[in-house]
Each structure stands twice: as C-alpha cells, then as structure tokens.
C-alpha cells in the first residue's frame, strides 16, 4: 500500500510543479538521466547475477518483442488500408508497441509482487523492451519518417547505452557465477530504490492533456491496442496456448499491460512522427493504465 501511495504522490507532485512558474519543468531531463545512468544500472547489477536461468525466462524476455511486432503488423496494415500517413503509422507503432516496463513497471511490479518480482520485470525491460526500442524502434522511426535507417547509428546506440552495458556485465557475472561484495550490493539496492520517486516525478512533470487535439480517434485506438489488446494476446498465447501459470507469467502479463513507453514517445517526437499524438499517448495512457492494470491484476488472480 505504501508503494501505491508513493506512485500517486510523486505523479501528483510532478503535475503540481508543472504549474509553479519558478520551477524549471525541463528538470525531468535531468531526472531521466539519473534514472538511466544510475538507478536502472544499479537494479540490473543487483538482480541479474542472482537469476537462475530456465526455459521459463524466455517468456518475459520475448514479451517485449512480441508486443512490438504485433504493433508493426497491426498499425502498418490498418494504416495502409485506411490511407493514414507514414508519420501517423510510425507514431502509433512506437507508442502503442512499447511498454513503460521500467519507469512505471518497476515500482508497480514491486508494489504488487515485492522486490522478488523485480527480477522478472528487469528481464521484460532490459533484453526485452529496451533492446527493442534501441534496434527495431530506431529502425521504425527512421523508416516511417522517410529517412534511411543508419545501421552504424543503431549499433552505437545499443553499445553505448548505460543500462545495456551494465546488462552485458551482469550477464557475464551470472554466467561465471560471480556476485558483488555485500556492501556494494547494499549500495546498489539503495541507489536502485530511487527509481520509483525520480521516475514517477519525471513522468508527472511530462504529463500533458491537450483537449483541443484532432487526434482523439487515434489516441483511443492506440490505447485500446496497448492497454487491452496486447495483454489479451499475451494472456491467450502464454496461458491458454502454451499452458503457463507461474508468477513469472503474471508479472510478464502486467508488464505488457503498462502504459506506453516514454522513450518510444520521445523517439517518435524526435523523428517528427506526430509529436502531439505521442505526447497524448503518454499523458492519457499513464492515468488510464492504472484502471486497466487493476483489471489485469484481477485476471492474474485466476491464472
């Protein structure tokens, strides 16, 4: 319960600070860098070396890839059939095809499943969603903005992104069954604990609600796909077809039901793919997702 209070407190604090004229609202960029360069790597270095690998872990890792590929297929063919612009298609793929599996996912999963659940959340996020946005995400952004994807740029983004570097290090530590000193682990936990307040404060500072926008029908479709259709497909595939019923599957389902990924929206905006719509997908997707997540958590109780 305390974790849920923190979630709403820091989201509300961010919204309030937006309206304080003296407060520099672009401070969220600094908060994002702290989370990306320090908090997320700390969580990765703490949890990944302790994971005992099994075939079951392929399910959380594969969820992010499945989600994005579904978005590519769904919005590309629907958009071409209905005559949408490439920029609109690209925007919906990048925002509806990527889950906020770290900034929102980590604190919510920790609140629902405890710190142990973070191990699965890290798997959904790091080798899953993060690698997807750094590779396929960049490719989609370049393709639908009528640019030509730069292979070297894609590789560079992956190799020099701090969470990915620490993920590789943590994987090697796991392979060689090496873990850090207990004092260092304690420090990593403390650093990682800041991901909740900092990330949610950043999200609150970025939430925007443009009631005059002409994108309402696309917003509804994008959020329906992300918050309802995707977790439903994962539920059917993992639980009913592949007969998986563990807590790992429950956490994976909840992660795929998270609101759109902020990084995906930023990528869409950077490439000129309907920046206002991408902002709306984040601004409305986050608060609405708290309602739909409650529904999916209820469904998880029957898995």
pLDDT, tens digit, 9 for 90 and up, residues 101-117: 887 898 899 889 988 88
State if pTM tops 0.85: no
In this structure, the number of other CB atoms found within 10 A of the CB of residue 199 comes to 28
Task: Please give the Cα distance from 72 to 93 (Å, whole number).
Answer: 6
Residue 200 φ then ψ, to 5°: -70, -35
Per-residue model confidence (pLDDT) at position 63: 94
pLDDT at 4 over 70: no
**Mean pLDDT of the chain, nearest integer:** 87
pLDDT bracket for residue 182 (50, 70, 90): very high
Task: Please give the Cα distance from 302 to 131 (Å, whole number).
Answer: 31
pLDDT at 127 over 60: yes
DSSP letter at 260?
B
Per-residue model confidence (pLDDT) at position 150: 64
Task: Please give the Cα distance from 237 to 239 (Å, whole number).
Answer: 6
For the chain, give the percent of residues with pLDDT over 70.
93
For 22-41, the pLDDT digits (tens) are 888 788 888 888 888 898 88
Query: CB under 8 Å to 174, separation ≥6 — which residues?
Result: 48, 49, 50, 51, 53
Instruction: Among 21-35, 57-71, 226-240, name the one with the lowest average pLDDT.
Output: 21-35
pLDDT bracket for residue 15 (50, 70, 90): confident
Torsion of Cα atoms, 291 then 199 then 67 then 299, to 10°: -30
Residue 99 φ then ψ, to 5°: -90, 150
- Write down the CATH number for the domain with range 2-10+25-300: 1.20.1530.20
């Amino acid at each position: 319960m305390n974790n849920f209070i923190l979630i709403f407190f820091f989201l509300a604090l961010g919204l309030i600070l937006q309206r304080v004229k003296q407060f520099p609202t672009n401070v969220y960029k600094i908060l994002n860098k702290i989370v990306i360069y320090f908090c997320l790597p700390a969580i990765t270095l703490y949890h990944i070396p302790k994971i005992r690998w099994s075939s079951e872990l392929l399910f959380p890792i594969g969820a992010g890839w499945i989600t994005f590929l579904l978005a590519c297929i769904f919005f590309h063919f629907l958009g071409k059939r209905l005559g949408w612009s490439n920029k609109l298609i690209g925007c919906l793929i990048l925002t509806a095809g990527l889950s906020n599996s770290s900034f929102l996912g980590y604190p919510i999963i920790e609140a629902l499943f405890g710190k142990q659940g973070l191990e699965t959340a890290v798997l959904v996020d790091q080798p899953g969603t993060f690698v997807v946005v750094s590779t396929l995400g960049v490719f989609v952004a370049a393709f639908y903005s009528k640019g030509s994807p730069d292979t070297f740029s894609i590789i560079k983004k992956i190799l020099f992104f701090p969470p990915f570097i620490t993920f590789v290090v943590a994987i090697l530590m796991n392979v060689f069954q090496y873990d850090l000193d207990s004092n260092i682990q304690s420090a990593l936990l403390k650093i990682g604990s800041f991901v909740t307040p900092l990330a949610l404060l950043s999200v609150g500072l970025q939430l925007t609600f443009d009631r005059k926008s002409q994108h309402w029908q696309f917003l509804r479709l994008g959020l329906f796909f992300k918050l309802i259709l995707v977790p439903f497909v994962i539920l059917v595939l993992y639980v009913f077809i592949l007969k998986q019923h563990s807590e790992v599957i429950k956490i994976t389902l909840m992660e795929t039901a998270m609101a759109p990924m902020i990084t995906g929206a930023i990528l869409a905006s950077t490439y000129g793919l309907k920046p206002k719509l991408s902002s709306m997908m984040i601004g409305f997707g986050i608060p609405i997702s708290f309602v739909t997540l409650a529904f999916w958590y209820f469904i998880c109780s029957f898995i």
